[in-house]
Structures are given as C-alpha cells and as structure tokens.
Amino acid sequence: MNGMTPNTPASGGGWNERMRLIRFRRKRERLKFWTEFKLIPGWVIGLVVVLFLIAQAIAVFVNLDLLHVQQNHEIFPPGLEGRPGLASVALAGIVTLFSFFFAVIIFSAAYVNKDAKRRGMNSAVWTLVCLILVPGYLVLGFIIYLLMREPLPYPCPRCATTVGARFNFCPNCKCKLHLACPQCRQEVVETDKFCPYCANDLATLKAEAPAEGAEAGLAR
C-alpha cells in the first residue's frame, strides 16, 4: 500500500489538475489590454514620462554643448562628429529605445502589484519576484506571474456576495458554485465529459452546471 486513498491524486497530478481548473476559469475573464493598463497607478506613469523627458534633455544638451563641438570632441553616437543635429536625433532614438525597455519593466511590476491584490494573492511577493528576475531574465518574472495568477473573484449567482474563484460553495448562502464528480467528489469543469480522477461519466451533471451569471463577474 502506498498510503494514498483510491480517489486521492498524486501530488503532481493534483497540482496539474488545479492549474487546469485555474486556466479554465481565467479564460472567462475576457480581459482587455487598455482596461488592464488602467490598473497601473497614474503617478507611476507620470514618473516614467518625467524621467524620459529628463533623459532626453540631458542627452540633447550634452551633444549640443558648443564647447565640445568647437573643440571637435567626440560626440555620441561615434561617426557623426561635425553633425551635432543628426547626432542628437540618433541619440534621442537610442534613449527612447532604452526608456521603452525600462518603462515595460516598471509598468509590469506596477501591474503585478495591483492585479495580485485584486486576485487575493501576495502582491509584495509577486512584485519582488518580477523585479528580482529582471537583471538576468528580463520579463520572465512577469510571464511566470501571468501563468500562475489566480482567477478573479466574482459575485455569487444567488446572493451577489464576492467569492473567490477557488470556492466550491458561497460562504454566505451555501450556493454551489462549481461542479463536482458525484462518484469521487473531486471538482470538475463544465467541459469535462469524464471525471479526470475516476473516469466517471459526467453527462448527468450538465444540467447542474452553474448559471452563466456565476462567471459574469469575470468578464471585465
């Protein structure tokens, strides 16, 4: 005997099944880019814009410094000596490119911080993960967060109380929020034809599927 009950999946299988359920529920969120972008605080966007303008101003003034031009000192980018105007345009493009890269990192961290809070996750930990992985892996932390994040809470179809996406029953009215296999009592989703745990036929459960209103709160 391995100590596990017949209906208890191995830890690896349980993890994969949980992620399958999470991905299924996240598909119903129908998130839009600009709606999600508004989660980023306005002060963060303003700070990025101000830093970008400061960087551009410094780059232009350095390249157009009359003393350096008159003394034929090397300007950046190399090869454009004697053409300070063109050099400034090229430098402005380089500054813009690097600014865009850093803006993506800052916006990603700010978004993760706000999005994790509304999903009931540890916002500080996930923000730190995104920033720690930046030096060696750029936006890998942000991608990991998108793959691992919990589905959004939504209103209970019976009493409208906000419930977590992992809840099987509403804590306020005991409304059944998700389907469960009648044989092994493990959670399943509406698209399953057979239980992934015990292979029980789930055709009889289709009539018990939660109302579409149960997930309407995810469509933001």
Phi, psi of 201 (to 5 degrees): -70, 125
Residues 104, 110: Cα–Cα separation, whole Å: 10
73 vs 61, higher pLDDT: 61
Cα distance between residue 151 and residue 165, in whole Å? 6
Bridge partners, residue 187, by sequence: 180
* Per-residue pLDDT at 76 exceeds 60: no
In residues, how long is the chain?
A: 220
Q: Which residue has the higher pLDDT, 191 or 216?
A: 191
CA distances for 72 relative to 57, 61, 64, 65, 79, angstroms: 21, 16, 12, 11, 12
Q: Give Cβ neighbours of residue 179 (< 8 Å, ≥ 6 apart).
A: 187, 188, 189, 190, 202, 205, 208, 209, 210
To the nearest 10°, report the CA torsion of 125, 128, 129, 135. Answer: -170
Tokens of 137: 């892996």
**Tens-place pLDDT, residues 94-107:** 889 999 999 999 99
Closest to 164 measured CA to CA, from 111, 220, 218, 115:
218
pLDDT in tens, 24-43: 667 677 788 899 999 999 99
Dihedral angle computed from the Cα positions of residues 28, 29, 31 and 37, in that order, rounded to the nearest 10 degrees: -160
DSSP string, 7-20: TPPPHHHHHHHHHH
Q: Name 194's bridge partners.
A: 201
What lies within 8 Å, CB to CB, of 11 at 6+ separation is: none
* pTM of the full structure: 0.69
